[in-house]
Amino acid sequence: MKIHISVKPEVLFQLGPVAVTNSMFTMFIVMGLLLLVFGLIAKNAKPVPGKAQGIFELIAEFLLDLVEGTGGKKIGRQVFPLVGAIFIFIAFANYTGILPGVGTIYIKKAPEAGVVHEGEAVPAEGEGAALELASLGQDTIVTAPITAGGEAAAEGHEEEHLPLFRPPNADINMTLAMAVLTFTLVQVAGIKAHGVGGRLKHMADPVFLFPIEVIGEFSRIISLSARLFGNVFAGEVLLGVIYAMVGALKIAVLPLFLPVVFIGLELLFGTIQALVFALLTLIYITLASASHSDHGHEEAHDVAHHPKAPGAHASAGAGD
């Protein structure tokens, strides 16, 4: 079994100036299925939920409790749609790496054009003549050489086999785009809560920490994108190596049971990485939106209303 490992996503086809890669193609499929499935669940929602609606409500309740427990009820309710969407998309995008056909279904790509340098002979008609020549300075690009049998072939280039599907988060461009989105929303949330001047003052408290705060804000883009990409890509490489090893051993039991362990680990790690990305997004937005007075007000409110909080009864008695 041949292992195909490539950090760079492979281009399947062009849509005008846009190069559609296998990771982008898989991303569109995941987005379409999520919109279709969850849209149907929401459309057919009933007071007594069925299995699908029950699973959806369980996920939503878990995420809602998580964001309210981390960011407070006010901020948590505001960012819940964003955090929930990030978690669900990343989790299901990570799960695509274990589906049959992902990384194993290939398409054939025509060989790339060759280059004939000045002074080199171009094959004659019937022996490999070029279908089209474009002169570019001192070199000539051979775009589609034709053999004597009439079939297109490029001398020295073999036909490429590219995987049709690739997990979206195994592409650094995908994780980088989500990290930039998170960074932008954090700044928007901070400016919305404090204004431009208040946001800058919030970052410059004390003043000498402002450069460190700026560096820290931008470093989040690298940490978020690299963490998610590294874990997902490493998982794909690990699964590929395991599949190749058990295939080479040719022992009936190993190909059946050994990959199951690593598939289970990939499911676990995919969920954890989605949760980490969503939680960090929530924490960054909460820190940018909240102020010291907000924290103090929430703590005082909790002490006054929590029945087991120290001093709660004393303050209530003093009020009476």
Same domain for 99 and 119, yes or no, is no
Q: Is the pLDDT of residue 232 over 50?
A: yes
Question: What's the mean pLDDT when you consider all of the chain?
Answer: 77
| pTM exceeding 0.85 | no
Same domain for 227 and 92, yes or no, is yes
Same domain for 115 and 220, yes or no, is no
Q: Is residue 5 part of a domain?
A: no
pLDDT of residue 254: 64
Digit-coded pLDDT (tens) for 52-80: 888 889 989 999 998 988 888 888 888 99
Digit-coded pLDDT (tens) for 171-201: 999 999 999 999 999 999 999 988 888 888 8
Same domain for 144 and 278, yes or no, is no
pLDDT of residue 281: 94
pLDDT of residue 304: 43
Domain of residue 151 covers 111-158
Same domain for 72 and 218, yes or no, is yes
Arithmetic mean of pLDDT, 245-274: 80
Same domain for 115 and 87, yes or no, is no
Same domain for 231 and 263, yes or no, is yes
Compute the distance between CA of residue 222 and CA of residue 249 in angstroms, rounded to an integer. Answer: 40
Digit-coded pLDDT (tens) for 10-23: 888 888 888 899 89
Same domain for 197 and 224, yes or no, is yes
The count of residues in the chain is: 320
DSSP string, 31-73: HHHHHHHHHHHHHT--SS--HHHHHHHHHHHHHHHHHHHHHHH
Q: Is residue 2 part of a domain?
A: no
- pLDDT over 90 for what percent of the chain? 33
Same domain for 124 and 89, yes or no, is no
Q: Is residue 279 part of a domain?
A: yes
Same domain for 102 and 141, yes or no, is no
Domain count, the chain: 2
pLDDT of residue 112: 54
Q: Is the pLDDT of residue 147 over 80?
A: no
Q: Is residue 311 part of a domain?
A: no
Same domain for 189 and 247, yes or no, is yes
Q: Is residue 238 part of a domain?
A: yes
Q: Which of 158, 174, 194 is the last residue of a domain?
A: 158
